[in-house]
Chains A and B, each alone.
Chain A
Amino acid sequence: EAGVTQFPSHSVIEKGQTVTLRCDPISGHDNLYWYRRVMGKEIKFLLHFVKESKQDESGMPNNRFLAERTGGTYSTLKVQPAELEDSGVYFCASSRDRAYEQYFGPGTRLTVT
């Protein structure tokens, strides 16, 4: 069984540009989560999809971040326009059921210069 995959593994962009991160969850996992770790701080929750619906987006920092999960399969997280403080590692996770074990992808390291 393939694990959670994320693309790209690294991205370097200039301030003001747009970046789109992709996450493919484990097959059959309806629950998909986005997290990020910035500037050596704790890993923070961003949002949670159940299938294609946003269940909880309380962790999204501002309206420059847009997450989608059309069709309930893979998800994208777009940052537009990117700011310096957005630099960090963005993780995606998936789980079979709510409040069940979450499995993490390898992360995307985003650097905004």
Chain B
Amino acid sequence: GIQVEQSPPDLILQEGANSTLRCNFSDSVNNLQWFHQNPWGQLINLFYIPSGTKQNGRLSATTVATERYSLLYISSSQTTDSGVYFCAVVTGGGADGLTFGKGTHLIIQP
């Protein structure tokens, strides 16, 4: 099956810093989503981005489908940005379940 690798696994930053999280995948995809898992364990949708670039406030994401990677950018980090960020993909071919990466654990220190 498809492999999804996220880097870095852990990231500690000071408030106000910028960060880039990366997601590499091993096959073509027709769905790619970024999630933020908050301290209560809930998965919050950030982006649905199988290709192209999107922005939402301080967050933006870019997926280069031909090169099989996606990037999540967080600017001017706040302590509330802390948590685990997951990338998840669907390869298609009749299977629609998301395959998740292991996540990037982000800690924003005040």
Which A residues contact B (CB, under 8 angstroms)?
A: 31, 33, 35, 42-48, 55-56, 58-59, 89, 91, 93, 98-104, 106-107, 109
Contact = CB atoms under 8 A, between A and B. Distances in A.
A68 B35 CA distance: 27
Contacts, number: 61
Contacts of A35: 97-98
Contacts of A89: 41
A49 to B, nearest CB: 10
B12 to A, nearest CB: 20
Interface residues of B, number: 24
A45 B48 CA distance: 18
Contacts of B42: 104, 106-107
Contact of B100 (A43, A101, A107, A109): A43
A104 B95 CA distance: 18
A100 B41 contact: no
Given A91-B43, A107-B42, A99 B33 contact: no
A60 to B, nearest CB: 11
